[in-house]
Amino acid sequence: MNLFIVGFPSFYGGAGAELYHQIHLWNKGFPEIKLHIIPTQKGYKNEPLYLEMVNLGITIHEDLDFSAITQDDAVINFCSGAFLENIELIGEKTKRVMFANCMTWLHKLEKEKAHKNNINFYLYQRPQVRDDHANQLKQRGATGDFIHFIPYFEQEGWEFSVKDQQFTNIGRISRADADKFAKSTLHIYEYITSPKFKRGHFLGFNEKSQMKIGKVHDWIKTYKNQHELPVKKFYDTVDFIVQPTDTNENWPRIGFEAMYSGKPLVVDDRGGWQYMIDHGHDGFLCKTPKEFIYWGTRLAFEPELRRDIADNALKKAQSLSSFEVSKESWKNVFEKVYA
């Protein structure tokens, strides 16, 4: 059996990072399935994960080259516009086409092309999003299967660390997207108090981000992307995460990254965060800037609280993303796809 993956995995960014972890599960858990990657852009040999994918034994094709796909093969994509742009061509090759929408909203092309039924299986990390999308897409003529899967997180290489550092290091991480920032971000960071001098770290920041929230304080360092500060270095640097946004996150990948790294989360009380976090036990859910400030301050002043939250969060992450549970979930998906 062949599984063609459209798009290249990454360490940074929701869909690409989600794909990276699932590739590791597919590779270890389903040796009978031969994995292929079809990049959506040129220059894929320069991708940071290119050699890792090659060393896993994955066949990598030329960008947007679908010629090797046959009717017996399956195709999967995580949230790529390039995939949706080429969906008719892919649909001519096979009727085993999977699309994993990692967002809480439908892509424009997903809505426009739903009635053509070139996507046979729609995959979702949360049942609530699946049900909402299924209703919308069926109204547009879609007849595919709508399936909930349990995402996997590859723990290897992630270091759990709760440290006593010279400064209180507070961070946030996302794409450099203005919507990923709440307007109150700098206000919150300014009013979090600490027994030590504070240091802030914003991984994923650009001109549009600054236009949204204003000029950052001198004690906050900003990084455009993972090339300026690698993701794992970010988690090794910060003590905890304070991340108010204007988005409704579906199944935040950074939740697992932070939990496996020992970094407590102070995040919005909505969307996927409500399913990942039990407030006060393994993280903190906030509705107002005052709540973000309060819990950020508590974490700054109480190292034992940081340790307790980090320990509980690690257990939560392991229960939500274990190899065994996720493998069984993907087994159910593949049994339907390859039937």
3 state SS of 30? coil
pLDDT tens string 81-98? 999 999 999 999 999 999
Query: What amino acid occupies position 179?
Result: D
Q: Residue 11 pLDDT more than 90?
A: no
Q: Across the strands, what pairs with 147?
A: 123
In the chain, pLDDT over 70 holds for what percent of residues? 100
Report, as an integer, the average pLDDT of 200-222: 96
Token pair recorded at residue 191: 């009013």
Mean pLDDT of the chain: 95
**pLDDT, average across residues 186-195:** 98
Summarize pLDDT for 273-289 with one digit per residue, the tens.
999 999 999 999 999 99
Looking at residue 101, what is its pLDDT? Answer: 94
- pLDDT tops 80 at residue 58: yes
- The pLDDT tens digits for 217-251 are 999 999 999 999 999 999 999 999 999 999 999 99
| Whole-angstrom distance, CA of residue 169 vs CA of residue 202 | 11
In 168-194, which positions are buried (b, 16+ CB within 10 angstroms) versus exposed (e)? bbbbbbbbbbbebbbebbbbbbeebeb
Amino acid identity at 290: K
What is the mean pLDDT of the segment spanning 109-128? 95
Cα–Cα distance for residue pair 25/22, rounded to 1 Å: 5
DSSP E strands in 88-135: the ranges are 97-100, 121-124
> pLDDT tens, 150-189?
999 998 889 999 999 999 999 999 989 899 999 999 999 9
Rounded Cα distance, 9 and 16, in Å: 4
In this prediction, residue 50 carries a pLDDT of 95
Any idea which residue has 């000029």 for tokens?
215
* Residues 97/73, Cβ–Cβ less than 8 Å: no
All structural domains of the chain, each given as residue ranges with its CATH number in brackets, are 2-152+322-337 (3.40.50.2000), 168-320 (3.40.50.2000)
Q: Residue 15: its pLDDT value, please? A: 87
Q: What residues have CB less than 8 Å from 219, skipping those under 6 apart?
A: 197, 198, 199, 200
Average pLDDT (253-276) is: 96
- Identify the pLDDT of residue 76: 98
What's the pLDDT tens digit per position in 315-339?
999 999 889 999 999 999 999 999 9
> Distances in Å between the alpha carbon of 5 and those of 69, 74, 175, 220, 316?
11, 9, 22, 38, 29
Q: 76 by DSSP, 3-state: which?
A: strand
Report the distance separating Cα 260 and Cα 240, nearest Å: 12
What is the full DSSP assignment across 226-265?
TTTS-HHHHHHH-SEEEE--SS--SS-HHHHHHHHHT--E
pLDDT of residue 125: 94
